[in-house]
A and B are shown apart, each in its own frame.
Chain A
Amino acid sequence: MDWQALALTLKLATVTTAILLAIAIPLAALLVLGRSRWLAALEALAALPLVLPPTVLGFFLLVLLGTRTAFGRGIATILGHPLAFSFAGLVVGSVIYSLPFAVQPLVAGFAAVDSTLVDAARLLGASRFRVVTTLLLPLARRSLIAAAVLSFLHTMGEFGVVLMLGGDIPGATRTLSIVLYNQVENFDYAAANRTAAILLGLSAIALAAIYLGRSSRGGRRA
């Protein structure tokens, strides 16, 4: 068992999930509460990683964050190393790749909150920030949990973006998915079975927690 890869994968998923929630909560609130005509375009952009092949996204990010572009060189100057083939680069790629998995449950959850409650809060002088923190998040907490779990799991299992952007550097970019790929490539099916079982087990536990939590509260109409 590659414990280093497991630790790196969990670290990547945790950091990515935290960053994603920090981005997705205000973005989802803007999409639900905003009135601008550009919001539809913004929502489509946030959903783009759903339909973009991971290898394509990984390739674009590899070029953008590498030393071939001024942007990539600028970041390399600031950090002292290029973002490509580093843990920080993997985080950037994971955040972009998993963005729809955080944004979409939150948009659905916020939109399901009765609009008369949002109006009532605004009429009492609540700012948009207060509407989100005191109304939307508590009332859509199941969507918040779903967004966190889906982002975490999606990052845990991602392969294409990681391979294109990070390669296979032990301790820096080698995640469990890369380990699994290597094990299969080496015909080490026993080890591959164990690695796959860990990924499958983590996914099953997290999804069971979401769905059991939902059914114990009386189903989705509760």
Chain B
Amino acid sequence: MLELAFNARRGSFLLEIECRFTSKWTVIFGPSGAGKTTLLRLIAGLDTPLRNSPDRARVSLDENLLTDSSRGIALKPGPRKWKRNTCFVTQQPALFPHLSVASNVAFGLPWLGGDDEQREVVEDRLELVGAAALINRRPQDLSGGEAQRVALARALAPKPRLLLLDEPFSALDGAASDALLIRLQHWASEHHIQTVMATHDATDALATAAEVALLHEGGLAALGPAAEVLATERRRLAHRLGSV
């Protein structure tokens, strides 16, 4: 269970949210500028309230406190247990250009025994995201969609407790995105990994049949089952399809 409480100002934008994600798969849905990325960055620990600022932040994962600005607690980002036990796939794949695909995926596994063990994990995660054939390629030789698959494999490799996804399939076509989403949901459920995925694509949000947090101008407008929270979006999509 992920518990959040934020009151953070970034320029003229104010993110004010207090909620609890109990589902294993939560979709944060909202238009561009609603605060989805800011929220994920705060959860991941990339963005922390500055000292002496009026910002307030509190994040706990399964009763473990990750951030508490009032007590000066802010665990460092990372997939290990003594860090935030979290991985974050950002909109930009951000693959390390001087490393091969295999080395990129193995980057989060320096603690994992020998090369054979690392290789096994790397191959398994690349297989999972449908990128096994890319293992010896360089990032500059990948298409946008391939790079996103590799970035996803890299985040999954350390098997974190919490997985954060920020529009992770934006460069994939609909069919490829749907297939990958199903595989990913199954894998995360099998390994008891809680996932929070941000998207502005209603079809992605509805496809997962998950708990949905609807964000609007930095605040939480609704939280509940996708069918309820996204009823309006669903009708709008159905109307568009019907009118074609």
Contacts and interface: CB of A to CB of B under 8 A. Distances in A.
Contact of A135 (B79, B88, B96): B96
B78 A120 contact: no
B46 interface: yes
A40 to B, nearest CB: 15
Given A117-B96, A119-B46, A135-B96, A125 B90 contact: no
A139 B97 contact: yes
B87 interface: yes
Contact of B83 (A117, A121, A125): A125
A123 B88 contact: yes
A120 B78 CA distance: 10
Interface residues of A, number: 17
A1 B139 CA distance: 53
A114 interface: yes
B108 A117 contact: no
B80 A116 contact: no
B79 A125 contact: yes
A81 interface: no
Contact of B90 (A120, A134, A138, A139): A120
B92 interface: yes
A124 B90 contact: no
A134 B103 CA distance: 11
Contacts of B94: 114, 116-117, 119-120
A125 B81 CA distance: 11
Interface string B22-64: 0000000000000000000000101000100000000000000
A214 interface: no
Contacts of A121: 96, 107
Contact of A122 (B77, B151, B154): B77
Nearest to B108: A124
Nearest to A116: B94
A123 B87 CA distance: 6
Contacts of B83: 125
Nearest to B82: A125
Interface in A31-90: 35
Given A116-B90, A116-B92, A119-B90, A124 B79 contact: yes
Interface in A102-121: 114, 116-117, 119-121
A7 interface: no
B79 A122 contact: no
A200 interface: no
A120 B87 contact: no
A90 B83 CA distance: 45
A194 to B, nearest CB: 44
A125 B86 CA distance: 9
A126 interface: yes
B168 interface: no
Contacts of B154: 120, 124
A35 B50 CA distance: 9
Nearest to B48: A35
A116 to B, nearest CB: 4
Contacts of A139: 97-98
B107 A124 contact: yes
A130 B80 CA distance: 15
Nearest to A120: B94
A134 B79 CA distance: 18
A126 B154 CA distance: 13
A146 to B, nearest CB: 18
A138 B107 CA distance: 15
Contacts of A125: 76-80, 83, 108, 158
6 A-B pairs with least C-beta separation: A125-B78, A124-B108, A120-B94, A116-B94, A123-B88, A138-B98
Interface of A: 35, 114, 116-117, 119-126, 130, 134-135, 138-139
